[in-house]
Chain A
Amino acid sequence: MTTRLVIGGAGVLLGLYGAWLLLSRHASASIVDAGVWLVAGVVLHDLVLAPLFLVLTLVATRVLPPAARAPVTVGAVVLGSTTLLAVPVLGRFGAKADNPTLLDRDYTAGWLLFAGLVLAGVVLATVVRARRGGGSPTGRGAHGPGARR
């Protein structure tokens, strides 16, 4: 218990130092803006992204054949997380006319290629599982792309 109290106390001090940096070195308008972004992150995850994923899961379990469920889940985790982190490049929001070396790829084509590969992996894994007569929800492993028994 003492160890945990020491670690926890150290964490509180580190966090308070960060809060002091944030509050003492910025104008109040910037602090409010940063606060809005901090809160928005939690709200977006907890009240938008997570419920959306819940609904998608619910629909998927009703619509998909059992053999496809695990591969689709693996595909969704891979494609969903990478798509989310690629939002800044996919939108090209930071592109500048005077600097052609920034955001200089065809991100839409790259994403379509990536999504196509994931989809192919999902279909392949589903077919393999269906042939094996698999798809039982207690199956031993994921059969998504790259995941092998």
Chain B
Amino acid sequence: MRVPADSDFTSRLRSAAVTARVGLWLGICFGVAFVTGLVSHYAQVPDQPVPFPTSPSWGYRVTQGLHVTAGTAAVPLLLVKLWTVYPRLFARPPRGARRLVVTAAERASIAVLVAAAVFQLATGLANAAQWYPWAFSFRSTHYAVGWIAIGALVVHVAVKLPVIRRALGADVDDTSQDRPAATEAGVMSRRGLLRATWLATGVAVLATAGSTVPFLRRVSVLGVRSGDGPEGVPVNRSARAAGVTAAATSPAYRLSVVYADRVVSLSRDDLAAMPQSTQSLPIACVEGWSAGATWTGVRLRDLLDLAGAPAGHDVLVVSLQESGAFRQTHLQSNFADDQRTLLALQLHGQPLAIDHGYPCRLIAPDRPGVLQTKWVHRLEVQA
């Protein structure tokens, strides 16, 4: 077998008219994933110059559902788009030093774009299924490569702008921008290929989105979670994996609320004897699954009042976990003072299951799931 040449690809389906139309939606998907990714990143930054909002309570759930959905939709779009431009890989380099340099630079930018795009989709999909077959840190690497992908995408749009404009301004069957070799009718029309692409994209979303859109659960046969779990809510990290089972079920368990030199110590019974509040707040994981839930427990603000802490202070929420990146989390003052923020003792009217954070867990509106600390042991009001 020999290496194919550009002229070997004769189908009229491999046309800029198709590439631009699929590329437009691919660009939209990457744009949505980038912006929603930034939202999630900012929500997890401890020191926020502009406080992350507590309302709407479903804001984080919707943005992260969109993040994973956009990434999923991008898979068929990227595959079809790369198929339409595949012959370009075998195009002969131009003559003349100057044109050669320009072509080499353009090719390099496309190599970066394809590498970053495939990397983001592959690592993102693996992360949603909690599969980590690599040594690098997922979160910070996916974040860094996200900037590289969006940068390379913007460069690509700038380079191709005249082609994109002409293609989108003309009929899909227009052949004025086709390669000279692309003269044969394909197996279907260009409109047919576009319809097949939209169909594949829609099917990919329906087959997976049930992990975050409850009414799709029965359809989403390839979703990472069915939505079942203790008390009807899935679990991200079990008590066993966190190594807290003994400490969480011990009769010696006490919650400490600390403000300056004052320490209030409370058993779970003490917490249950306090005025209870019930809130409907979603639990929305960074990995893209989410569930609506009804939580009952003590308002966090009431606990801070017990220790005499005034409003406007951030709180360090410490778990019984002895290790792990989310052993302790930083709760900004706008979340700590929000009337909906609870130290929950019950989920859906049942005592909190140990995998959901028994004896008590934090649940706040519009907050990433990893920061909704389980098995809470200490609340330290920051100076």
Residues of A within 8 A of B (CB): 3-5, 7-8, 10-19, 21-22, 25-26, 29-31, 33-34, 37-39, 41-42, 44-46, 50, 53, 61, 69-70, 73-74, 77-78, 80-82, 84-91, 93-94, 96, 98-99, 101-105, 107, 109-111, 113-114, 137-142, 144-147
* Min CB–CB distance B109 → chain A (angstroms): 8
Kindly report which residue of chain B lies nearest to residue A36, judged by CB atoms.
Answer: B134
B129 and A38 contacting across the interface, CB-CB below 8 Å: no
Tell yes or no: B140 within 8 A of A by CB: yes
Residue in B72, B76, B158 whose beta carbon sits within 8 Å of that of A5 in the complex: B158
* Min CB–CB distance A67 → chain B (angstroms): 11
Given pairs A11-B152, A11-B155, A99-B235, 17 additional interface contacts (CB within 8 A) = A11-B154, A14-B151, A15-B155, A21-B143, A33-B136, A46-B86, A53-B83, A77-B199, A84-B75, A84-B79, A94-B130, A96-B130, A96-B238, A104-B225, A138-B189, A139-B189, A141-B189
B83 and A50 contacting across the interface, CB-CB below 8 Å: yes
Known A53-B83, A73-B187, A84-B79: A8·B151 in contact at CB below 8 Å: no
B234 and A101 contacting across the interface, CB-CB below 8 Å: yes
Known A42-B115, A77-B197: A14·B131 in contact at CB below 8 Å: no
* Min CB–CB distance A129 → chain B (angstroms): 11
Could you tell me the distance between the alpha carbons of A11 and B118 in the complex, rounded to whole angstroms?
18
Q: Return chain A residues, CB-CB under 8 Å to B199.
A: 74, 77-78, 144-147
Complex interface: stretch among B202-210, B263-271, B306-314, B370-378: B202-210
Tell yes or no: B80 within 8 A of A by CB: yes
Q: Return chain A residues, CB-CB under 8 Å to B339.
A: none
A147 and B204 contacting across the interface, CB-CB below 8 Å: no
Tell yes or no: B100 within 8 A of A by CB: no
Which 6 A-B residue pairs are closest in the complex by CB-CB distance?
A: A15-B151, A18-B147, A110-B221, A11-B154, A41-B118, A142-B192
A-B contact pairs, 30 of them (CB 8 A): A11-B158, A12-B151, A14-B150, A15-B148, A17-B147, A17-B151, A18-B144, A18-B145, A18-B146, A18-B147, A18-B151, A29-B135, A37-B119, A42-B118, A70-B187, A73-B188, A81-B75, A82-B76, A82-B207, A82-B222, A85-B208, A96-B130, A96-B238, A99-B237, A102-B130, A102-B235, A104-B228, A107-B221, A144-B195, A144-B199
Residue in A77, A93, A114, A146 whose beta carbon sits within 8 Å of that of B222 in the complex: A114
Tell yes or no: B102 within 8 A of A by CB: no
Could you tell me the distance between the alpha carbons of A42 and B112 in the complex, rounded to whole angstroms?
9
Q: Return chain B residues, CB-CB under 8 Å to A140.
A: 189, 191-192
* Min CB–CB distance B23 → chain A (angstroms): 15
Kindly report which residue of chain B lies nearest to residue A51, judged by CB atoms.
Answer: B4
Kindly report which residue of chain B lies nearest to residue A106, judged by CB atoms.
Answer: B221
Q: Return chain B residues, CB-CB under 8 Å to A12.
A: 151, 155
Q: Return chain B residues, CB-CB under 8 Å to A15.
A: 112, 147-148, 150-152, 155
B-side interface residues, number (CB < 8 Å): 86
Known A89-B129, A107-B221: A142·B188 in contact at CB below 8 Å: yes
Q: Return chain A residues, CB-CB under 8 Å to B186.
A: 137
Q: Return chain A residues, CB-CB under 8 Å to B161.
A: 3-4, 7
Chain B 22-54 interface 0/1 with A at a Cβ cutoff of 8 Å (1 = within): 000000000000000000000000000000000
* Min CB–CB distance B298 → chain A (angstroms): 26
Tell yes or no: B185 within 8 A of A by CB: yes
Known A8-B158, A88-B131, A101-B229: A13·B151 in contact at CB below 8 Å: yes
Known A11-B155, A41-B122, A98-B241: A104·B226 in contact at CB below 8 Å: yes
Residue picked from A34, A85, A94, most chain B C-beta under 10 Å: A85
Tell yes or no: B116 within 8 A of A by CB: yes
B187 and A26 contacting across the interface, CB-CB below 8 Å: no
* Min CB–CB distance A51 → chain B (angstroms): 9
